[in-house]
Structure 1
Amino acid sequence: MKTRLHSSIALMLCATTLFGCSAMRSDYQSPELDVPGIWPEKLELDMNVEPQNQKEAAVIQVDEWWTLFEDPQLNSLIDQVLAFNSDMAKATLTLRKARLVAGVSENNKVPNVSFSQDSSSEYDIDSDSTENSSSTSLSLSYELDLWGRVDAAADADEWTARASYEDRESTAQSLVVTTATLYWKVAYLNQMLALTEQNIIGTERVATLTKNKYDTGSATYLEVLESTQTLFTQKVQLNQLQQELSETQNAISILLNQPLQDTGVTIDQLSARPVPDVEAGIPADLLLRRPDVKASLYALKSSLASKDAIAASYMPTLTLTGSLSTSSSNLVELLQNPVAKLGSGIVLPFLEWNQMELNKSISQVDYEMAVVDYRDTIYQAFEEVANLLTTKESYRYQGNVIKEQYVNAKEIERIYASRYQNGASDMIDWINAMESRRSIESSVLVNRYNQFLTQVKLYQSLGGGDIAPKS
């Protein structure tokens, strides 16, 4: 009875081995997303669309989005950074390593062939003769992937390699944003320096006028001190701006691995062109083209394949090993008595039941964590775009108000200057009006700089095609 029961179990296991190995692989299911209602209706994401199939979205979003700013010098600088930056080189090496690992795993799917040749020579003193001999051996080794373990492991490494590719693209996108940010910061600081220098010249004129009026008895010594104090403050601001400009230029040089002056790029001021806008009606599916989203998706699929590989690793393996024209003993025994061969082989891994269950549970937790990470990446993409759209509109509104405020400040300064020169008001009132106008003028420049930064971050957050140099 026990023998019959053991044979029945073995037959069932054998049938599972021969016909049910595909059941060891898990079908990938897109994680469900609960998109908060605070986002616009147009940001509903179709998770059933693969990133590589976003052709319609690709038409809407320009891949090299920085070219929309129509600045040839910026384009040239970005091209050089993508070509020579150290982080880009490291990301390329990481990708190359991941591809090599994936290649090793893929190679495990095919038979391994080994060849050896030995030769020897023996001299017989008695007969004064030499006997030569040689032998050649060619062997073939192949693991029969009954449970899909080798295939799952290879898939896991392949998805990891794809994730590394997207990580490299993410590095490239970040470098573009960093380069553009530093480029515009240099332009902004140069304009601030020019503005501060003009203010110093104006303040020196006021100080000279006040000193002359003091000499004639029409101004107090306190007014002379107040005009000089403002001059000191502006000179300190000028020095701080010069230091910040030098640090920003050095940061660009580090990105390029060469001095900025060697690039032939000169950055004097922010472009006078209108800040480009995004088209209306951009579908949320465009976010699936973001490198961080794709990398997270591929990491998720790699985790799923790794889970299958771990589960399959506890099933018996069958290696077909033999010489060139012979079958291995394992294969012969399997064909002669499959029930005994597979039945006895399957029972052995289950002796480590606790260890097997722990490892399978760990791999399941890793997969569930990858699902959470993928969802978080999608949600963060939604939040990032929504926040940047709001910020963009806010800076646009503030820019219009500040421009009107600047017009009023100039008129107020003119009136106070006239009143002071005619003795109708104190010098301090004129200085205060002058400082107010200067502050608002600086705000106009800061606002325009922020509009550039927000726009470039928005383009990045919307995703795009591959921009990294070919690896």
Structure 2
Amino acid sequence: MPTYTSRRRRGSCWVGAACLAASLAGCLPASQYLTPAVEIPTQWNQYGDGGDAQTRTRELGAGAPSETGPYDWWRAFGDANLDQLVEDVLVVNSQLAAAAIRIHQARLQAGIAASNAYPRISSGLGLNAGRETGSLRVQGDYSVSLSYELDLWGKLAAERDAARWAARAAEAEREAIRMTLIGDTAKHYWQIGYLNHELVRNEADIANAQRTLAIVRGRHEAGAAHGLDVVRAEQGVATLEALRLNLLAQRTRHRNDLAILLDRPPQGWLHEPGHLPEGHLPGVPDSLPADLLSRRPDLRKAEFELRRLLARINQARAELYPTFSLAGKAGRSSASLVGLLSNPIDGIGLGVVLPLLDWGMRQRGVEVSRDEYEANVAEFRKTWYTALAEVDSALSGRWQLEQQKSLHALSLERAQRAEGLARARFVAGLSDVQPWLDEQKQVRQLQGACAKNRLDRLNNMVTLYKALGGGA
């Protein structure tokens, strides 16, 4: 039976172990995270004459990831149907749902890792009954055991950190998927509106080409036009009819792509846009601070991954050192309730595991973890510079598209005047039909270029919003 003295000695063991842990806890400091230095501009300026922007650069750390919540940047376009469509996609999209499940898994793993900071307790209870010399004998027993690994070198803390940063990375990945889905939804929405507008314009072009064909046939029957003119006019009608089939096929593809985003089979849509939105597009400030990039979820994920890998290095380094663990057990076996609850048999011990035989393998594990971290540092820098390039390209494209808008409008006005003159010359018998057909084609192309420019400017705004992490 354990005496008071023996229990006092075991209590001293616990105290001694705690003192040992306190004295060794700071022997292996963890590597501290430093954000990789990248050279970024202090701000981007608007592109002006010549299409070049003057920017100042400085070398500095990329900074802590911004915790700014998602910004509903698509609402800046003022389209209620687009707003509703984006909301529907964000609710039902299967890719976003899968990302949410991965976040839940990562958080569960972080919770499991967090449990290593506490002792592990297990218990057992048994009851046996038997007959001896004609009487029933009941024997009961119970046991409680406790084990606790002393985190002298920070291994368990590093494991918790790695799991926590993995969960943060999963959250950032979901935000990146969310932003991509919003951009894709808006682009498909506008593409369908653009194609519907082009189909309406194509119908008008076909009707106009058929009227031209009727005029040419009439002049041919009157002997005032050559048979070649009739063939050329017929060819123009056939070309426009073939273009219509191509436009219909494109619209079907974008409808199907949108149905996939909505997690449903291809089907009609009640609020399909008949044309591109009109009016002014959302503005962009004269200068944009480069710090906006810290809101990009892909950059946040890259930094969280670096922090996770650094925690893995700290964990691998701690594996090189001995593992100390405390274990305690108490239990009792008795045929009576009083005996079962009195004077339990207890014990305590301190265990040490020395990494002697596999020390070399563990050392190589540290080197592997370091190499993986350094490789991700290089990828992190590439990700930052890619983000900078995307913003710069979007700003440059915005300026160029604005210039093209004015040029296309001017060219269209002149082409329409030229088409009228060519028609008058043909009707007057001063030329064959080809110059008139050529000018009609030029007008159609420039009308299409104006519509395409509008679509490109809308898509460019989406690209810029995404490049800046969800807004300017």
Q: TM-score with structure 1 length normalisation? A: 0.86
Q: 2:64 aligns with which of 23, 46, 50?
A: 50
- The within-5 A match list for 1:95-134 is 95-124=103-132, 127-134=133-140
Q: Does the Cα contact within 8 Å between 1:24 and 1:312 map onto a contact in 2?
A: no
2:460 corresponding residue in structure 1: 454
Q: Are positions 1:29 and 2:34 aligned together? A: yes
2:13 corresponding residue in structure 1: none
User: How many correspondences in the alignment?
Assistant: 430
Q: Does the Cα contact within 8 Å between 1:98 and 1:160 map onto a contact in 2?
A: yes
Residues 100-156 of structure 1 deviation map (CA, whole Å, 9 limit, x = unaligned): 1111111111111112111110012xx321111111222212111111101101101
2:99 corresponding residue in structure 1: 91
Sort the Cα spacing of 1:43 and 1:410 in 2 relative to 1 into closer, same or farther, 3 A: farther
Letter in 2 for 1:52: S
Q: 2:281 aligns with which of 269, 275, 281?
A: 275
- The within-5 A match list for 1:174-323 is 174-258=180-264, 264-323=270-329
Q: Distance in 2 between matches of 1:406 and 1:308?
A: 66
Higher share of residues assigned strand: 2
Sort the Cα spacing of 1:370 and 1:39 in 2 relative to 1 into closer, same or farther, 3 A: farther
Letter in 2 for 1:77: L
Letter in 1 for 2:24: F
Q: Kindly state the Cα deviation for residue 350 of structure 1 after the two structures are TM-superposed.
A: 4.2
Q: Distance in 2 between matches of 1:260 and 1:270?
A: 22
Letter in 2 for 1:32: A
- What RMSD over aligned residues (CA atoms) do the two structures have, in Å? 2.3
Residues 319-347 of structure 1 deviation map (CA, whole Å, 9 limit, x = unaligned): 2111258552217xxxxxxxxx7xxx6xx
Bigger RCO (CA 8 Å, 6+ sep): 1
Q: 1:401 aligns with which of 390, 404, 407?
A: 407
Residues 259-298 of structure 1 deviation map (CA, whole Å, 9 limit, x = unaligned): 5766542211100021212222321111011000000000
% identity of equivalent residues? 29
1:7 corresponding residue in structure 2: none
- The within-5 A match list for 1:308-457 is 308-323=314-329, 326=346, 328-330=348-350, 348-457=354-463
Q: Does the Cα contact within 8 Å between 1:17 and 1:147 map onto a contact in 2?
A: no
Q: Does the Cα contact within 8 Å between 2:327 and 2:348 map onto a contact in 1?
A: yes
Which stretch shows the higher mean deviation, 140-149 or 38-47?
38-47
Q: Distance in 1 between matches of 2:21 and 2:128?
A: 50
Q: Distance in 2 between matches of 1:48 and 1:421?
A: 69
Q: Does the Cα contact within 8 Å between 2:25 and 2:151 map onto a contact in 1?
A: no
Sort the Cα spacing of 1:201 and 1:22 in 2 relative to 1 into closer, same or farther, 3 A: farther
In structure 1, the gaps of 5 or more residues are 1-13, 332-340, 466-471
Letter in 2 for 1:323: K
Q: Are positions 1:166 and 2:166 aligned together? A: no
In structure 2, the gaps of 5 or more residues are 1-18, 43-51, 331-343
SS in 2 for 1:123: strand
Q: Does the Cα contact within 8 Å between 1:44 and 1:284 map onto a contact in 2?
A: no
Higher share of residues assigned helix: 1
Q: Kindly state the Cα deviation for residue 53 of structure 1 after the two structures are TM-superposed.
A: 6.0
Sort the Cα spacing of 1:53 and 1:167 in 2 relative to 1 into closer, same or farther, 3 A: closer
Q: Distance in 2 between matches of 1:401 and 1:352?
A: 72
Letter in 2 for 1:329: G
Q: TM-score with structure 2 length normalisation? A: 0.86
Letter in 1 for 2:65: P
